[in-house]
C-alpha cells in the first residue's frame, strides 16, 4: 500500500471526488486552526503508477508515504 497525502485546501470538490474513485480508501485527518486538514488516499501498489500519472496531469501536489502516517507526523509536515 501507498499513502498519498494531500492538503485539503489544495483540492476542489470535483478533484476530490475523482480521486476517491481511483483509490481503495480515503481518510480525512482533521486539525484545528491554524493547521489545515489532510486527505489520505490509500492506493494499492499495482495502481501506484496510474494514480501518480493522474495527480501529475492534474497538477496536484502530494506527499507520499509507505506507511500510514500518524497524526503527529501529519502535523509535523505542516510546521
Do 4 and 41 contact (CB within 8 A), yes or no?
yes
Instruction: For the chain, give every domain's residue range.
Output: 2-78
Q: Which grid cell sits at 11?
A: 483540492
Give residues with Cβ within 8 angstroms of 77, minimum separation 6.
Answer: 5, 38, 63, 69
Architecture in CATH of 2-78: 2-Layer Sandwich (3.30)
Question: Along the 79 residues of the chain, how does pLDDT read in single tens digits?
Answer: 999 999 999 999 999 999 999 999 999 999 998 889 999 999 999 999 999 999 999 999 999 999 999 999 999 998 8
Question: First and final CA of the chain: distance in angstroms?
Answer: 26
Rounded-to-integer distance, Cα 69 and Cα 58, Å: 24
Amino acid at each position: 500500500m501507498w499513502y498519498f497525502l494531500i492538503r485539503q485546501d489544495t483540492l476542489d470538490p470535483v478533484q476530490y471526488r475523482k480521486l476517491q474513485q481511483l483509490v481503495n480508501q480515503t481518510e480525512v485527518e482533521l486539525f484545528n486552526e491554524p493547521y489545515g486538514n489532510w486527505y489520505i488516499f490509500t492506493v494499492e501498489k499495482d495502481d501506484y503508477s496510474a494514480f501518480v500519472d493522474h495527480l501529475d496531469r492534474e497538477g496536484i501536489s502530494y506527499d507520499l508515504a509507505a506507511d500510514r502516517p500518524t497524526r503527529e507526523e501529519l502535523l509535523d509536515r505542516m510546521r
